[in-house]
Amino acid sequence: MNIERPSLSFWQIWNMCLGFMGIQFGFALQNANVSRIFQTLGADIDDIPILWVAAPLTGLIVQPIIGYMSDKTWGRLGRRRPYFFYGAIVTTAALLVMPNSPTLWVAAGMLWIMDASINVTMEPFRALVGDNLPNKQRALGYSLQSFFIGIGAVVASSLPWILSNWFDVSNTAAAGVIPESVQYAFYIGGAFLLVSVMWTVFTTKEYSPEQLAAFEKSEAHLESDTQKQEINFGRTMSISGVIGVSIIALVTALDLEKELYLLGAGLVAFALLQGIALWQQAKEYTENGFFAVVYDVFTMPTAMRQLAWVQFFSWFSLFAMWIYTTAAVTSYHYDTLDVTSKAYNDGADWVGVLFAAYNGFAALAALIIPIMVKRMGIRLTHALNLILGAAALISFMFIADPSWLMLPMVGIGFAWASILSLPYAMLSTTLPSAKMGVYMGIFNFFIVIPQLLAASVLGLILKHGFANQPIYALVIGGISFVLGAIAVSRVKLVK
C-alpha cells in the first residue's frame, strides 16, 4: 500500500518557510555591507575577494556535514529544527559583534563565524521542504522560500539607508570606524533573525524517521544506493592532486599572485579527501559519514550533475556582483575612492537600496515565475531569467546616472528568484528523503566552488586586465550568466 505525505495547509507551509526570511535578513546585511566594512577598516580593492573567501569556504565545509548530520538526527526538536535553533543563536551573536570589529583581521574572522552559523541554520531549510511536503506542493514551498528571501533582503539591504535618511542616524564616521547606520542595522538584523527562525522552530512539526521511511517506500522512481558500486577514487585523486601541486609550484616558481595558492590548495585538499575514501573503500570501512559524503559526490543523480554547471555559472555571477557592486558604483558612478567621504558613503548606501530593490523584485518574480513555467517550461524560464540577469549586470557600464541603476535591478531580481527556486524544483523529485540533507549539502558545492574561484581570480583579472576597475567584474558576471543560461538546455528532467 502506498503511503504518501499528506498535503499541508498554506499557513503550515508559511510557518515552515518564515524562518528563511530571518536567515536572508542576516545574509543580505552581510552581502551589502561586509565589503564596506572591510574597506573602512583599511582593505584595498584587490584584497577584498580573498577576504570574502570565508563565506564560500565555510559553506563548502559546513553544509554537507550539517546535511549528513541532520539526516541522522532525531530528538526533542525533531530532525532539522535543532540546527535552526542553535545556528540562529550563534548567527545573532555574530551579527552583533561584526560591526564593532576594531581591526580588519577581526572583521575577517567574524565573517567566518557568521557565515558558518548562517550555513548551519540555512542548510536544513531546503531539506525540510522535501521532508514535509508531497511532490505536488514542493514548488509552492520553494516559491514561498524565495518570497521570504526577497522580503527579508529588501528590508535588510536598505536598513543603513533607512536609518540614515529617515531617522537621521549618521552614515559617516572617523577613519577606521564603522558608521552608526551600519552598526544599528546589524543589531536590528540580529533580533529579527532570531525571532523569525524561532517562529519556524516552534510552529512546525516534522515526521519521524519511521514515517519518512514509510513515505520512501512509495517513491520507487528514486535512485537507490542499497548496492554500492566501487568508485575509482585513485584516478580522480591523481588528476586533481597533480593539477593542484602544479599550480602551487608555478605560483612559487614564477612569483605569481598568492591568491592562486587557493586554487592549488583546494585541489590538493580534494585529492587528500579522495585518498582517505580510497583507503576506506579498500578496507571496507564505508559505513561512516565521511565516506558517505565523498561517495555521494561521485554517485549523485544525473540531473544533479547537469544542474551543477547551471549553478556554477550562476553563482560566479552573483558572487562577482556581491563583492564588487559597492566598489563599482562608488568609483564609477560616484567617482570616489575615499571611504571616509560623504560621496563614498552615499554611494554605498545607494548600493544597499539597489540590493533591497532587486530582492523586492525577486519577491514579485517568485509569484510570476510559476506562470512562466506553465507557459514556457521550467528550463526555458530559467534560461530567460538568467539572460535578464546578464543584461542587467552588463548595463551598469552603460548607465551614467546612479538613479537609473534601479532599472537593472528588475533583471537581477528575476534571475535571483529563479536561481533560488527553479534548480531546486528541477532537482527535488530525484532526491530520496533519507538523504535529502546530504544531497542538498553536496548541491551547495556547485554554489561554493564558483565563489571560491571568483575570490581567487577576479581580483587578478581586474588588476592585470582592467586596471583595477571593479565595474568590469560586473560585466564578467553578466557573461557568466549567459553561460549558465546555455547550460540549462543540457539538463534532462525526470518525467
In DSSP notation, 458-478 reads HHHHHHHHSTT-THHHHHHHH
Give the Cα separation of 150 and 364 in Å (integer): 8
Task: Report pLDDT for 142.
Answer: 81
pLDDT digits (tens, 9 = 90+) for 60-91: 778 888 888 888 888 888 889 999 999 999 99
SS3 content of the chain, % helix, strand, coil (to 5): 80, 0, 20
Q: How confident is the model at residue 226 (pLDDT cuts 50, 70, 90)?
A: very low
Give the Cα separation of 76 and 225 in Å (integer): 29
In the block, residue with C-alpha cell 552608526: 180
Non-local CB neighbours of 330 within 8 Å, separated by 6+ positions: 336, 337, 343, 344, 347, 348, 351
Rounded to the nearest angstrom, the gap between the alpha carbon of residue 280 and the centroid of all alpha carbons in its chain is: 31
Residue 264 in grid coordinates: 592549488
Q: How confident is the model at residue 282 (pLDDT cuts 50, 70, 90)?
A: confident
Q: How confident is the model at residue 317 (pLDDT cuts 50, 70, 90)?
A: very high
Alpha helix segments (H runs only) across 103-134: 104-132
Task: Report pLDDT for 220.
Answer: 52
Give the Cα separation of 234 and 440 in Å (integer): 26
Name residue 47's amino acid.
Answer: D
Task: Report pLDDT for 389.
Answer: 96
Whether the predicted pLDDT of 32 surpasses 80: no
Task: Report pLDDT for 311.
Answer: 93
In the block, residue with C-alpha cell 576597475: 469
Task: Report pLDDT for 444.
Answer: 82
Whether the predicted pLDDT of 273 surpasses 80: yes
Residue 55 in grid coordinates: 563565506
Rounded to the nearest angstrom, the gap between the alpha carbon of residue 315 and the centroid of all alpha carbons in its chain is: 8
Whether the predicted pLDDT of 411 surpasses 70: yes
Give the Cα separation of 385 and 308 in Å (integer): 17
Phi, psi of 206 (to 5 degrees): -125, 155
Residue 66 in grid coordinates: 550539517
Share of the chain above pLDDT 90, in %: 29
User: Is 203:15 a contact under the CB 8 Å cutoff?
Assistant: yes
User: Which has the higher per-residue pLDDT, 443 or 258?
Assistant: 443
Phi, psi of 364 (to 5 degrees): -70, -40
Whole-number Cα distances in Å, 374 to 26, 303, 371, 389, 495: 33, 20, 5, 21, 15
Task: Report pLDDT for 287.
Answer: 82
pLDDT digits (tens, 9 = 90+) for 362-406: 888 988 988 898 888 889 999 999 999 999 999 999 998 999 999
Whether the predicted pLDDT of 108 surpasses 80: yes
Q: Is the pTM of the predicted complex or chain greater than 0.85? A: no
Cβ-in-10-Å burial (0-12, 13-18, 19+) of 44 comes to exposed
Length of the chain: 495
Average pLDDT value over all residues in the chain? 85
User: Which has the higher per-residue pLDDT, 161 or 136?
Assistant: 161
Share of the chain above pLDDT 70, in %: 94
In the block, residue with C-alpha cell 530525484: 430
Task: Report pLDDT for 373.
Answer: 85
Task: Report pLDDT for 88.
Answer: 93
Whether the predicted pLDDT of 20 surpasses 80: yes
pLDDT digits (tens, 9 = 90+) for 36-58: 888 888 887 667 766 776 666 77
Torsion of CA 54, 24, 169, 340, to 10 degrees: 30
